Chains A and B, each alone.
Chain A
Amino acid sequence: MRNLNLYLLTVLLFPTLSQAQSDMFKTSDIPTYHGETYESIMVEQYLKKYPKIKEIVDISSLHVINNNYAIDHNNAYYGSKIISGADIKTFSPYKLSSHFSDYATDSNHVYLEGEQLPLATPSHFNELGYSSRNRYSMDGHYVYFNNEMIRGADPKSFILGNNGHAQDHQYVYYGAKKLENSNAKTFRFLGEDNTGYAADINQVYYFPDIIEGANPQTFQLLNKLTAKDDHALYSRAKKFEGVKDIKTLQIFHSYYPYLSLLADQYHVYYLEYDDFYIISDADINTFKILPARFDQYARDKNHVYTFTSQGYSIFEKLNPQITQIKGPFLNDGQHLYNTLSSWQSKLTKNEDFLPNRIPLSGYESVEIIDLPSFQYLAGPYAMDKDIVVMGRGHTLTVLGKRAELQPKLISRNKKPKYLIKIGEECFDINTSKHSCPAN
């Protein structure tokens, strides 16, 4: 019977309380007043958010301080965790309405998310700000990064910068780390955006890393990830030597910021994240980018090149002067190659899938196609006089006989703009199936 009463009470009271908690009402339905107080609503919300606290807290004396802090007559709590050593008489939130800061103070200590800040004096405590959920604060003597004291930082001159950096009158800091030998007065960020590169009079930085040996006087960015000084090339914090003439080195072409071809007056270089290749075969005077939708190709008077995450390769048999690129197919009339890209096919469902044998990317020479009658359709689809094939994937797939499948390109007014009809089925250029339009 008692349980039933409790149940009824909950069912009847809960809607009014939860309604009272929600912020907005219409003027015509302001709820009836049931003796709610700010405190009772806060307690209700707190218990709902932290149900575990019910096991340890004295609910009759529970006083909620803000969304995450509460006290009863014995303890202070952060969520449902007891804050040991807190003085409940003077315990109060430092700043309630800020979205990221979760500081509290009592007469002796400062707390962040329920943890003490070592040696912090509450009377002189100040929050400095935050960058990407990392909070800086200080008292009269020390500066803190989250709960950690930044050793040696001067609170009087300490200010926050961009990209996770901060500085006092002397040094630059990243998080709680002091950047050794840094010089705050000459510290500056390189590049417009959040590249992470910075320099002062002594050295060059990539986020908190000091780029060993880089010359801050001549250091310059080539793109967001790549930089050079007077003797080396840098990608992020990594240094590459082996560029023949660093003075004339510049970006030749960036397929992506992390996939760049560079050139000086002697050579072409390929930089893929932290992997650096000197393309010693390439002829700098005739070197050109071959435009393609998905993959990265280039040619000079001798070779056709492809650039992938595994480095670069040369299509030995192709004549660079007459090579055409159609979707994944490279064709010079004598040879046909299919550019592989295994992430596009659902290999994990393929029983033949052998991760060690199948390259993630690369190319294969295709022999079964009759080159004089080769005809490209769209996407990865092509055909000759006898068969219809699908390129890319981990290898070329024969879809069937051309006479039976009657492949056709359908252009439409809506997206996708092209459909490839093969037999009774229609695909877009990304091989996704679509319903075929009538006629």
Chain B
Amino acid sequence: MKIRKFLLSASSIIAILGIIIYLVLLNRPKIYLLNYPWQGYVYQNMNDYASSFGLPNDSMDSQSFTIVSDGFAYDNHAIYIGNTILPYQSDAQLLEEKQKFLSEYQNNICGMYAPWDMNTLEVLDRFGGIARDKNFAYLNCQKLKIPRDQIQVLARYLHTDGYKVFNQDSISPIALDGFQKLGYGYIKDHLNVYAQYPESSYTPMEHVDTETFNVINQNFAKDANHYYYQGQPLANIDYVTFKPFIYHAADQNRAYFLSNTEQVSLTYSIDLDSYEEIDQQYAKDKHHLYYEHLRVPNVNPNNATHNQFGVLNDGIHVIIDGDIIIDSDPESFQRLAVPTFAKDKNRAYFNGVRIVNADPKTFMSIKTKDLNLNYAKDAKGCFKDNKRSACPTREEIDNA
């Protein structure tokens, strides 16, 4: 009897254990094995890293290329800090630059408080504040529960532990199943498309056709039914003839100048076939030059080009802020470091009006700490606004 009783209870324990084992182990959420060559970092390869920092990948050595932190990498001949390139001189130099980079990160994120081991600190997403040392992973200054070897950055402000996707400190609705980056902040999973607007959060886009959705550039995307600007569908546009540029767009009815989702200006009666964007401010068609949505008169739009200093002109007039600078030289016109000043080979200008008796050859602006002050100088002395004046004091000058 005793044996029978014992066996019964043993089998029931085994059964219960079996159920527990089944629940815990077999029904556990699936671990997504993510194939990232630099485990933890978002970058898939050297070219990916180079393009996101605007580095010249043709002069970088892929064999020796190593990422130390998000924004800090090196190869056998150079150190890459953000988008600046320093020639590689010694290991000591590398170490020193790395210390500088990391302490700057710490100052920005945590101030004086250092929750981590500085010697083994790696920044994985410097905008999203994800980092790790030999022991832990961190979000900003807080330790994360995710093991340091298991954390993986997926995109800016997005990371995962292999089960779930986190947006900063909260769980994101984005699933790892079907996770795909579409570019310019758009993410797709097996159900939805998500847009990264505002900057740090990802919101599922409504009524989007996920099958046909594709990203055009940093501002525009489209699917079978709509065009989208910064994640928002555009109302009342003509879908069939719609031509998106980067800041401008046009359809058969009118043109659109978009600064952000709250600021769209309309331009009527344009010539759609010849309408094109020149830069962030200007667009043109065969009849007119447009400054945002305003026509700039008395300019030949067909000759509108930038000179070597990036100043727009039509070969006769210089065009600044939608305005013509009278009698200026389009070839040599340039804006100076303090942008209220400009010069060409004949004259110097303050706010588009000539400065009397200034020598254009030696004319240059002086940056001051107070951005409201406008100082410049030539060989004979200084100018404040458009007048000869005393030079700014040593304290006023911005040496940076």
Are B261 and A27 neighbours in the complex by a CB distance under 8 Å?
Answer: yes
Are B232 and A28 neighbours in the complex by a CB distance under 8 Å?
Answer: yes
B393 in the interface, Cβ–Cβ < 8 Å?
A: no
Interface string of A347-386 (1 = CB under 8 A from B): 0000000000000000000000000000000000000000
A31 to B258, CA, bound (A): 14
Q: Which residues of B contact A24 (CB under 8 A)?
A: 262-265
Interface residues on A, range: 35 or more
Are A37 and B269 neighbours in the complex by a CB distance under 8 Å?
Answer: yes
B15 in the interface, Cβ–Cβ < 8 Å?
A: no
Query: Which A-chain residue is minimally distant from B323 (CB atoms)?
Result: A97
Query: Which A-chain residue is minimally distant from B228 (CB atoms)?
Result: A27
B12 in the interface, Cβ–Cβ < 8 Å?
A: no
Are B324 and A30 neighbours in the complex by a CB distance under 8 Å?
Answer: no
Interface string of A36-65 (1 = CB under 8 A from B): 111111000000000000000000000000
A68 → B minimal CB distance (Å)? 13
A192 to B389, CA, bound (A): 7
Interface string of B266-307 (1 = CB under 8 A from A): 111100000000000000000000010111111000000000
Q: Which residues of B contact A306 (CB under 8 A)?
A: none
Are A97 and B297 neighbours in the complex by a CB distance under 8 Å?
Answer: yes
Looking at B233, B268, B291, the one whose CB has the most chain A CB atoms below 10 A away is B268
Looking at A27, A98, A159, the one whose CB has the most chain B CB atoms below 10 A away is A27
Q: Which of B291, B295, B387 contacts A162 (CB 8 A)?
A: B387
Which of A126-134, A243-251, A287-295 interfaces with chain B? Answer: A126-134
Are A95 and B297 neighbours in the complex by a CB distance under 8 Å?
Answer: yes
Query: Which A-chain residue is minimally distant from B231 (CB atoms)?
Result: A27
A416 in the interface, Cβ–Cβ < 8 Å?
A: no
Interface of B is mostly: strand
Number of A-B contacts (CB under 8 A): 103
Q: Which residues of A contact B324 (CB under 8 A)?
A: 95, 97-98
Interface residues on B, range: 35 or more
Q: Which residues of A contact B390 (CB under 8 A)?
A: 192
A93 in the interface, Cβ–Cβ < 8 Å?
A: yes
Q: Which of B234, B296, B297, B323 contacts A30 (CB 8 A)?
A: B234
B333 in the interface, Cβ–Cβ < 8 Å?
A: no
A30 to B233, CA, bound (A): 11
Are A25 and B266 neighbours in the complex by a CB distance under 8 Å?
Answer: yes
Q: Which residues of B contact A25 (CB under 8 A)?
A: 263-266
List B301-342 residues whose CB lies under 8 Å from chain A.
Answer: 322-324, 326-327
Q: Which residues of B contact A130 (CB under 8 A)?
A: 353
Given contacts A38-B268, A95-B298, contact A26 B261 (CB under 8 A): yes
Q: Which residues of B contact A431 (CB under 8 A)?
A: none
Q: Which residues of A contact B262 (CB under 8 A)?
A: 24, 26-27
Looking at B230, B232, B253, B267, the one whose CB has the most chain A CB atoms below 10 A away is B253
Are B296 and A97 neighbours in the complex by a CB distance under 8 Å?
Answer: yes
B235 in the interface, Cβ–Cβ < 8 Å?
A: yes
A112 in the interface, Cβ–Cβ < 8 Å?
A: no
A36 to B268, CA, bound (A): 7
Q: Which of B258, B266, B295, B353 contacts A20 (CB 8 A)?
A: B266
B254 in the interface, Cβ–Cβ < 8 Å?
A: yes
A298 in the interface, Cβ–Cβ < 8 Å?
A: no
A161 in the interface, Cβ–Cβ < 8 Å?
A: yes
Query: Which B-chain residue is minimally distant from A162 (CB atoms)?
Result: B387
B347 → A minimal CB distance (Å)? 9
Are B291 and A97 neighbours in the complex by a CB distance under 8 Å?
Answer: yes
A126 to B325, CA, bound (A): 11
Q: Which of A38, A93, A129, A167 contacts B326 (CB 8 A)?
A: A129
Q: Which residues of A contact B258 (CB under 8 A)?
A: 27
Are A30 and B236 neighbours in the complex by a CB distance under 8 Å?
Answer: yes
Q: Which residues of A contact B236 (CB under 8 A)?
A: 30-33
Q: Which residues of B contact A126 (CB under 8 A)?
A: 326-327
A3 → B minimal CB distance (Å)? 30
B303 → A minimal CB distance (Å)? 18
Query: Which B-chain residue is minimally distant from A31 (CB atoms)?
Result: B236
B114 in the interface, Cβ–Cβ < 8 Å?
A: no
A71 → B minimal CB distance (Å)? 14
A424 in the interface, Cβ–Cβ < 8 Å?
A: no
28 contacts between A and B (CB under 8 A): A20-B268, A23-B265, A25-B265, A25-B266, A27-B233, A27-B235, A27-B261, A27-B264, A30-B236, A30-B256, A33-B253, A37-B268, A38-B268, A38-B269, A38-B295, A66-B297, A92-B297, A95-B326, A96-B296, A96-B297, A97-B296, A97-B323, A126-B326, A128-B327, A159-B354, A161-B356, A162-B356, A162-B386
| Chain B residues within 8 Å of A, Cβ to Cβ | 229-230, 232-238, 253-254, 256, 258, 261-269, 291, 293-298, 322-324, 326-327, 353-354, 356, 386-390
| Chain A residues within 8 Å of B, Cβ to Cβ | 20, 23-33, 36-41, 66, 92-98, 126-130, 159-162, 167, 189, 192
> Which are the 6 A-B pairs with shortest beta-carbon distances?
A96-B297, A37-B269, A38-B268, A129-B353, A33-B253, A38-B269
